[in-house]
Structure 1
Amino acid sequence: MQLLAFGDSLTQGYGLPQGEGLVPQLESWLRERGQDVTVINGGVSGDTTAGGLSRIAWSLTPDVDAVMVTLGGNDLLRGLDPADTRTNLDGILTEIAVRDLPMMLVGMQAPGNYGTAYQQAFDGLYPELAEAHDAVYVPSFLAPLMGDPEAPDPAAARAFLQADGIHPNAEGVARIVEALGPQVEDLLARVDR
């Protein structure tokens, strides 16, 4: 089975030695649990949702059985309009749906410095799109780095980030994979074999 991990630098494994990024760690985690899966690295550093929309069609090769979408972080870093992010993600998920592939959407959260209206518009688009496209939904890519889910502590994440304060280090990726893995297994269970 082939799972396309479609995203940006968080997917690509920016700043990490080969074998320590999200894709190889996730594939190892899944295989250790008996999943016969290859995870394809469809991560492009710096990619926005617009970039993802422009490349999703040719990324969905005939051997892809399921897709995990993790995009939006660079839209946030650039302060792009959440309406455009929504339109682009909707286009990506629609392209996946046209091919009748099971999909997962992994959310991002806007920081408060863009204002409450921006934050609500951005944060709200992920659950709404996941529901509209019947995608497995993961609310937050980075939440596993912030300790207690009931009282997340962004300061706690520092130990699991690289020096840039944005990208997870190898230990951070391992924590993300531990949290993400069971939901990826749910996604793979949707694949018609």
Structure 2
Amino acid sequence: MTLAAPLRAQGASQERTLNLVALGDSLTAGYGLPADAAFPVQLEAALKARGQAVTIANAGVSGDTATGGLDRVDWSVPDGTDGVILELGANDMLRGTDPSVTEKALDAIIVRLKGRGIPVLLAGMRAAPNLGPDYGRRFDAIYPRLAERHGLILYPFFLDGIAGDRGLNLADGLHPTRAGVERVVAGILPSVEDFLKRLRKGP
């Protein structure tokens, strides 16, 4: 018994490494930043610092829309992926794309991943005020509706805490600085940890 107890404790602490993919646009890709400052890299480091056994692949493509993400989801998310952080829709919003088009594409991405047994954490986006209240209501409703429909963990607004803050965004006012990404990571971290718990628990 003196040997068995330490062995059990050791086994319990050696969790399998979970392989995530961050599927997104320039906000995921790390537009204008060194590679080590991109969201997936910073998030992985923050999770590992908290004792999480996880890797996060960067499948962000600058300029991508939700439809663009749907077109490439099969090869951007390889077999063996345990979960996906889905961050798309900002470019749809900036282009004034009909929110129904964005929602349909995001829904199709989620359905396709679920069909492969790959759970999704949904990172939401919100419409800029200059697009008007009607567009804003329709666009902002996409993410809560999808999360409810598919039983997903939702982080309501990916840019929470940094949108409109000149000190945390590059000169274009759209993309976060390294410090801005750090703020994003700090905000989304509890949701991601809940997601990891769900992945380890299984269906």
Q: TM-score, normalised by structure 2?
A: 0.87
Is 1:59 the counterpart of 2:61? The answer is no
Q: 1:116 aligns to what?
A: 133
Is 1:168 the counterpart of 2:176? The answer is yes
Is 1:101 the counterpart of 2:114? The answer is no
Max radius of gyration: which structure?
2
Q: TM-score, normalised by structure 1?
A: 0.92
Residues 14-56 of structure 1, C-alpha deviations (whole Å, 9 max, x = no match): 1001211101100100000111111000100000001001011
Cα distance in 1 for partners of 2:188, 2:154 equals 10
Is 1:17 the counterpart of 2:34? The answer is yes
Cα distance in 2 for partners of 1:165, 1:145 equals 10
Equivalent positions of 1:65-104 (< 5 A) are 65-104=82-121
Residues 82-102 of structure 1, C-alpha deviations (whole Å, 9 max, x = no match): 010010000011111112222
Q: Which residue among 61, 64, 77 is the counterpart of 1:47?
A: 64
Structure 1 residue 182, shift from structure 2 partner:
1.3
Q: 1:150 aligns to what?
A: none
Unaligned runs of 5+ in 2: 1-17
Following TM superposition, the consecutive aligned residue runs of length 4 or more in structure 1 with deviations greater than 2 angstroms are none
Instruction: Give the alignment's Cα RMSD to 1 decimal.
Output: 1.2
Amino acid at match of 2:37: E
Asked if the contact 1:97/1:133 (under 8 Å) is kept, the reply is no
Cα distance in 2 for partners of 1:92, 1:11 equals 17
Q: 1:149 aligns to what?
A: none
Q: Percent identity?
A: 46
Unaligned runs of 5+ in 1: 147-153
Amino acid at match of 2:81: V
Q: 2:5 aligns to what?
A: none
Is 1:129 the counterpart of 2:146? The answer is yes
Query: Aligned with 1:188: secondary structure?
Result: helix
Cα distance in 2 for partners of 1:42, 1:110 equals 23
Q: Which residue among 51, 65, 71 is the counterpart of 1:34?
A: 51
Tell me the matched-pair count. 184
